[in-house]
Structure 1
């Protein structure tokens, strides 16, 4: 754990220049707008350790797969979101010296990320090797209203220097892809051009016909007055820009505003890329920094009006949960069903920008409950649109008749992963995709999605499960052999409880929705039957599997067993591990990890969380008390699940401790991996831990119910939640819960098993013991 950031309710603040933590800070200070984004890199030259990264949604590169031992079924390409042309560079030069933050003396360095309005700022003082001192202030933001725009205001004040200061705003297409398998350049430059008014770089990804055009223009000011300067045009094969400047004396300030438009072929006709990017950059210049900044602040104000969470009495948690909400919002726009959310968003290159099952576990429930139903639907449609490739993926592994296995890692529906114990065996990813289809209908009360799209997915997944199970003659039960559960610290196991349980729940859902669609949407039902070649006879095996699936249990202790043989291990607890050896993935051999009882994240507890209505409180408690002490939480998906379950069994201190870690996982770098980027798709888990854990929100008999708790440290907490399209504003304090109905209809709720009706636009105050 690292703590070098200042606690502040609305800002992320770094005081001092922490060179050793530079990559971590680049992740923390990342900004974007859901369509484009970048790590918190410096504008000026920096030859120290850095991962310079800019990224564009929906643009990807097919990187050749690199493996030591090829196996049938491995993908030949790994899709990557390439490091895009670097737009934000602004070099600074004196007469015969160039600023390099690695080589110049840096003093009074402060940077701030304002979450209230999405603006990144830096203020610092630098002294050159020759003794010249400058004060520099930089502001940067990605427009939330004009999604191709990004802007920088770079101001330099001379302290003791007299002479010319030159500022060089540029776009560089010769970028490094640190995670590339073969150190391959991923861009071809179609056009690099600089005129007196603008500079542009038009690029195309190799092997994929994705194109991007970046155009930039600028304004130059001296002591707040705009000045004209004949620019020196920079035009190289892969780099374009300007050199502009002015003579200054001590006390004088030179400022440059850089307006850049980044337009991709995903949203613009290729023939119009250049025209549109140049036009948008020049229009931004005519609109001006202050007007665009005001638009930015108003848009973020609207966002926070819906998404904000307020926690009284705990500034650390208040800061962190806003940070997580902020990063979720600026890393995914949600307006395009062809796009999903990369595990690192726009904050790093790990996982290649690809989608994993985190989206279904964390993001879809978050969007549904927080009032962004359209975003949830688009994420569901993303999977529906990839159903043909999921069927193709299953066929490659020997499955037939429309069985679907969704990829573990993907961008376009093709499997990208090439580690056999995950690619072929972590089949539980199918389960969570089916789960979210059912979740959507339960949360919204709508069945049109499952009729038009979801049932096809459920049929494909059920066909996969039907073929993947085996019948054990000795057990006289169905078993699932050779899998890896969510706990990736155990591979190639038999009868992983979570996988077996997910299989049965998926089959039950499919049977339920087959009946529902047949009854309520007969035309859609006939279409689906014809399209999928579905035979009612298939359901006989599904029902037999449901009735006769094997679930490993320990009758004596009353726990579900993680998988066959788990109880044969030496059942130590995490407290027995030397803290210097954590995380164990970075210190232990893989053989030692596999033989240990230690769990990256608990499969059993994840299943109990997802299907919570199926288990009694005593069952939850027994399993929690057994597994949580053996869980390392070295997965970003772990803390929030355990926090919710701790709250459900009334262990509020444990729930708070786990919630704090879930919420500040990145800000405090609990797993020592912050330098690789933020855990974007896990961040909604902290919001779910608050809403589903402490507030105890569940869906019961068509009503939203609350079983609220409040940590001792908090005075109150409040948030908005959406149910069936209506917003409720919830405030939970020590003595009472206040529910405001923001809808134009009456809403029925349950609080601590008592039924209440809140009149439209009314509120209800309920005393709490």
Structure 2
């Protein structure tokens, strides 16, 4: 398979030439979504070749029973599945009694697929010769509306090129679907009704166990040479499927077109008994507007998103395409309209990993949403965690913790832990720290302290209680230690004193103690409410402080670096450069036993801590640790290259920073990890944005002031980005000679540029 078949383009993802071996990869890369639903780029017409069918509804999931050969106390009862929903996109095409099928035809020519990121639509065009020698030109376009987020629209056109043709066009909705990712091959859906009314079709179905009620719907119209045919379809119904059958004859070179509208109404947004009625309203709105107007609305909505979120890169088309691909998919996955939703690691592009929420949201995604949207969007992501606090306390109780200690889940849909690998579920506890850091990071960036007395302090107290109980005193070290953990480097399990985990535990306690005092002094009513609810006492706070002040951090005098964990130097320290390339990626070539005994690091671990808490270390310390750990890092996590890119840029290693940037931005486009067919790496895409804004742009908050230290790779002529900082929009434009700052806002803004104060006036450019 050609892993580099996507054509470089500034605004589109382009594929030319049909290769069945690339179909599954393209289904991922060309996926579309609108925050409320999404789908892989499956063909509308029948396809008999290998394919991964996938349509997904935000927030709808199934608790697939955990599949393990043993059971221990505290083990999650289920592994949440992102559910493959009933499909509404299908349009079967039959020409002179032969089915149109790209896998079974005589010849496919001029195949072209485009995902237009600027305007938010997916298209295909191709010339096909069927086995009966009929030649057809086929053109399709589809999108999921951002403005009407329950609706999607398809325009599908067929032109017979070498003779007249008898067409049978069959749009359908189909609830007889299965999940690619299933532990026990359970049926996930129960179909309750299959109905047709006024050429509108509806299938009501609910999920087993979780009992989400949905209605999948469709309506269609047929045209010849842009004239509505007024054709009435024949209806075929089964227990799981509704088909509309249109039959007509089309002359040579005439254009047959079908407009199909479809989508979902869900009881997350409507009364479960009113889903068909809501679907009718949505269909009537969509068909009244029509395909062309809906598409125009789509273009305008995306233009508004891009106006704020776009990053331009001059002189490097692959880099430009990469960053826009990442920004596009982040906006397709989450738009901040619903605080009960979060950002799944595969978004709407696949089913791997299960669950909708990882620590990725707090560590990587919140900075992107804070800076490219109104701060209320990031606040909703923080509110999501507060809403799940009681579940986090229950998760901790299952593992033996008490007194309101909270352990947030590694993977969740509703606040319950639903990950089924013990070394992750029980041991990758550093996720608690990322949530606390996000609260700190939100206030640091937005200046909005209100979240903390309203919600955040309760979260911080639960997390601090967990760290206090999870640490134990070692008489050997005369310090507090944290044993039996997995750090961000998942290639080391059940290790002791992971530096990152210990450091963030200490930081969490210190930050919570500091925040308690701040709320006590400035928000006495909130403090009284919270202290009454949580029963915190000065004696308890003193015990926390004892742990934080005496936390153990493994250190090597020989190498003059903190150790990633107690036993790191016991390993055979062979760098990645000296590892036979045929052994890569090790996660696909080696046994788990061999990986765990190796020095190889999946992603930034200790360096993740130095990224978060950069201002607590000198440049010389960062450089020393970067030089020690990066050579052992295999970057087999999607979350790895972005952190290393940011740190390499800070250390003025611009070639290395650029290489890491290109890898993070084109991770999926160039399929670095040989797994893009399973879906995209959505949450790491926010790290790509950080690689430019925080890496090359050097954006930080220093002393409550927005600060930049701009740098530019030699491969670029220039780049620009915007950030929304405390309701003022700053545009930063960098080229090889200078940096320009432009302010959209009412008041002047003082920023730091390379450590020096610079004042930007409204609508004036400042050049540095």
User: TM-score, length-normalised on structure 2?
Assistant: 0.98
Instruction: Report the counterpart of residue 382 of structure 1 in structure 2.
Output: 384
| SS state at 1:164 partner | strand
Instruction: Report the counterpart of residue 219 of structure 1 in structure 2.
Output: 221
Hey, what's the Cα distance between the residues in 1 that align with 2:607 and 2:227? Answer: 62
Instruction: Report the counterpart of residue 82 of structure 1 in structure 2.
Output: 83
Is the deviation greater in 98-107 or in 430-439?
Answer: 98-107
Judge conservation of contact 2:311–2:721 (CA < 8 Å) in 1.
Answer: yes
Matched, 1:201 2:203: yes
Hey, what's the Cα distance between the residues in 1 that align with 2:456 and 2:346? Answer: 27
Hey, what's the Cα distance between the residues in 1 that align with 2:79 and 2:593? Answer: 27
Instruction: Report the counterpart of residue 539 of structure 2 in structure 1.
Output: 537
Matched, 1:437 2:439: yes
Hey, what's the Cα distance between the residues in 1 that align with 2:664 and 2:263? Answer: 36
Instruction: Report the counterpart of residue 297 of structure 2 in structure 1.
Output: 295
Is the deviation greater in 589-598 or in 348-357?
Answer: 348-357
| SS state at 2:707 partner | strand
Judge conservation of contact 1:10–1:114 (CA < 8 Å) in 2.
Answer: yes
Shift of 1:474: 1.3
Instruction: Report the counterpart of residue 500 of structure 1 in structure 2.
Output: 502
Judge conservation of contact 1:200–1:278 (CA < 8 Å) in 2.
Answer: no
Judge conservation of contact 1:477–1:548 (CA < 8 Å) in 2.
Answer: yes
Judge conservation of contact 1:203–1:213 (CA < 8 Å) in 2.
Answer: yes
| SS state at 2:729 partner | strand
| SS state at 2:110 partner | strand
1:115-149 deviation per Cα after TM superposition (whole angstroms, max 9, x unaligned): 01111000011121121111100000011111111
Instruction: Report the counterpart of residue 604 of structure 1 in structure 2.
Output: 606
Instruction: Report the counterpart of residue 757 of structure 2 in structure 1.
Output: 755
| SS state at 1:530 partner | helix
**Pairing partner for 2:479 from 471, 477, 480:** 477
Instruction: Report the counterpart of residue 530 of structure 2 in structure 1.
Output: 528
1:138-196 deviation per Cα after TM superposition (whole angstroms, max 9, x unaligned): 00001111111100000000012423111111000000111111111211111111245
**Counterparts of residues 99-138 of structure 1 (less than 5 Å):** 99-104=100-105, 105-138=107-140
Instruction: Report the counterpart of residue 628 of structure 1 in structure 2.
Output: 630
**Pairing partner for 1:326 from 309, 325, 328:** 328
Judge conservation of contact 1:219–1:256 (CA < 8 Å) in 2.
Answer: yes
Is the deviation greater in 684-693 or in 67-76?
Answer: 67-76
Extract unaligned runs of 5+ from structure 1: none
Instruction: Report the counterpart of residue 253 of structure 2 in structure 1.
Output: 251
| SS state at 2:99 partner | coil
Judge conservation of contact 1:746–1:759 (CA < 8 Å) in 2.
Answer: yes
Extract unaligned runs of 5+ from structure 2: none
Hey, what's the Cα distance between the residues in 2 that align with 1:751 and 1:82? Answer: 48
Is the deviation greater in 28-37 or in 96-105?
Answer: 96-105
Judge conservation of contact 1:194–1:234 (CA < 8 Å) in 2.
Answer: no
1:47-105 deviation per Cα after TM superposition (whole angstroms, max 9, x unaligned): 21111000001111121121122121112122222100001000001232112222113
Instruction: Report the counterpart of residue 26 of structure 1 in structure 2.
Output: 27
**Counterparts of residues 309-324 of structure 1 (less than 5 Å):** 309-324=311-326
Instruction: Report the counterpart of residue 63 of structure 1 in structure 2.
Output: 64
Hey, what's the Cα distance between the residues in 2 that align with 1:270 and 1:198? Answer: 19
**Pairing partner for 1:637 from 627, 636, 639:** 639
Shift of 1:343: 0.7
| SS state at 2:149 partner | coil
Hey, what's the Cα distance between the residues in 2 that align with 1:106 and 1:351? Answer: 35
Hey, what's the Cα distance between the residues in 2 that align with 1:368 and 1:288? Answer: 35
Hey, what's the Cα distance between the residues in 2 that align with 1:561 and 1:516? Answer: 34
**Counterparts of residues 277-676 of structure 1 (less than 5 Å):** 277-676=279-678
| SS state at 1:212 partner | strand
Hey, what's the Cα distance between the residues in 2 that align with 1:477 and 1:411? Answer: 37
Hey, what's the Cα distance between the residues in 1 that align with 2:278 and 2:371? Answer: 37
Hey, what's the Cα distance between the residues in 2 that align with 1:163 and 1:304? Answer: 43
Q: Count residues with an aligned counterpart.
A: 766
Hey, what's the Cα distance between the residues in 2 that align with 1:351 and 1:734? Answer: 42
Shift of 1:557: 2.2
Instruction: Report the counterpart of residue 72 of structure 1 in structure 2.
Output: 73
Is the deviation greater in 206-215 or in 585-594?
Answer: 206-215
Judge conservation of contact 2:355–2:418 (CA < 8 Å) in 1.
Answer: no
Instruction: Report the counterpart of residue 49 of structure 1 in structure 2.
Output: 50
Shift of 1:282: 2.6
1:365-405 deviation per Cα after TM superposition (whole angstroms, max 9, x unaligned): 11112233111111101111100000000000000000000
Judge conservation of contact 1:369–1:723 (CA < 8 Å) in 2.
Answer: yes
Hey, what's the Cα distance between the residues in 1 that align with 2:36 and 2:583? Answer: 39
**Counterparts of residues 641-720 of structure 1 (less than 5 Å):** 641-720=643-722
Judge conservation of contact 1:469–1:481 (CA < 8 Å) in 2.
Answer: yes
1:253-296 deviation per Cα after TM superposition (whole angstroms, max 9, x unaligned): 11100011411111111121101102211331121111111111
1:12-51 deviation per Cα after TM superposition (whole angstroms, max 9, x unaligned): 0001112112111100000011101100100011121111
1:488-515 deviation per Cα after TM superposition (whole angstroms, max 9, x unaligned): 0000000000000000110111011000
Judge conservation of contact 2:199–2:233 (CA < 8 Å) in 1.
Answer: no
Shift of 1:669: 0.6
Judge conservation of contact 1:495–1:564 (CA < 8 Å) in 2.
Answer: yes
Judge conservation of contact 1:344–1:353 (CA < 8 Å) in 2.
Answer: no
Hey, what's the Cα distance between the residues in 2 that align with 1:277 and 1:353? Answer: 27
Is the deviation greater in 209-218 or in 94-103?
Answer: 94-103
Hey, what's the Cα distance between the residues in 1 that align with 2:515 and 2:628? Answer: 36
**Pairing partner for 1:157 from 140, 159, 163:** 159
**Counterparts of residues 728-743 of structure 1 (less than 5 Å):** 728-743=730-745
Hey, what's the Cα distance between the residues in 1 that align with 2:625 and 2:76? Answer: 38
Judge conservation of contact 1:80–1:354 (CA < 8 Å) in 2.
Answer: no
Is the deviation greater in 280-289 or in 166-175?
Answer: 280-289
Shift of 1:249: 2.2
Judge conservation of contact 2:355–2:411 (CA < 8 Å) in 1.
Answer: no
Hey, what's the Cα distance between the residues in 1 that align with 2:25 and 2:374? Answer: 30
Hey, what's the Cα distance between the residues in 1 that align with 2:397 and 2:355? Answer: 26
Judge conservation of contact 1:219–1:285 (CA < 8 Å) in 2.
Answer: no
Instruction: Report the counterpart of residue 91 of structure 1 in structure 2.
Output: 92
Hey, what's the Cα distance between the residues in 1 that align with 2:297 and 2:423? Answer: 49
User: TM-score, length-normalised on structure 1?
Assistant: 0.98
| SS state at 1:103 partner | coil
Shift of 1:353: 4.1
| SS state at 1:165 partner | strand
Hey, what's the Cα distance between the residues in 1 that align with 2:469 and 2:377? Answer: 33
RMSD, matched Cα = 1.1
Judge conservation of contact 1:259–1:281 (CA < 8 Å) in 2.
Answer: yes
Hey, what's the Cα distance between the residues in 2 that align with 1:196 and 1:92? Answer: 23
Judge conservation of contact 1:165–1:246 (CA < 8 Å) in 2.
Answer: yes
1:276-323 deviation per Cα after TM superposition (whole angstroms, max 9, x unaligned): 102211331121111111111111111111111111111101011001
Hey, what's the Cα distance between the residues in 1 that align with 2:377 and 2:534? Answer: 27
Judge conservation of contact 1:23–1:675 (CA < 8 Å) in 2.
Answer: yes
Judge conservation of contact 2:88–2:263 (CA < 8 Å) in 1.
Answer: no
